[in-house]
Structure 1
Amino acid sequence: MTAATIVKCPECGGDVELGAGVMVAEIVDCGICSSGLEVVSVDPLILALAPDAEEDWGE
């Protein structure tokens, strides 16, 4: 059994549950507001709004 950690969504303040194996740069979704969130630190566990996907023009 792995322990889950609850952190607050930086967009809506809702609870986001993350598993024990979460890694920096991982993208997760808030179950309340559906915002894409990026794990920016695991100790302490910090989430930030994920950057918008930019188009790749083959450059």
Structure 2
Amino acid sequence: MNGKCKMCGESIEMPDDAIVGELVECGGCGMTYEISAISNGNVSLKSAEHVGEDWGE
């Protein structure tokens, strides 16, 4: 299974045991994506949300 980076167009290879919600990274530009759906060997990706540290505040 493969996905495509929306930033640089590089192909992103998915692990064989990929699951919805898993994070994957583009090897070309480093962009992080979340797997949003898997259907018939096709993978849909969305940009991963980055949560900053709140240091307990």
Report the TM range for the smaller structure's normalisation. 0.7 to 0.9
Q: Contact 2:2 / 2:43 at 8 angstroms: preserved in 1?
A: no
**Which residue in 2 is equivalent to 1:10?**
6
Tell me the TM-score normalised to structure 1 length. 0.76
* Identity %, equivalent residues: 35
Unaligned residue ranges in structure 2 (runs of 5+): none
The total of aligned residue pairs comes to 55
- Partner Cα separation in structure 1 for residue 44 and residue 31 of structure 2: 15
- Partner Cα separation in structure 1 for residue 35 and residue 45 of structure 2: 5
**Which residue in 2 is equivalent to 1:26?**
22
Moved over 4 A (4+): none
**Which residue in 1 is equivalent to 2:36?**
40
Tell me the TM-score normalised to structure 2 length. 0.78
Unaligned residue ranges in structure 1 (runs of 5+): none
- Choose the corresponding residue for 1:53, options 27, 32, 51: 51
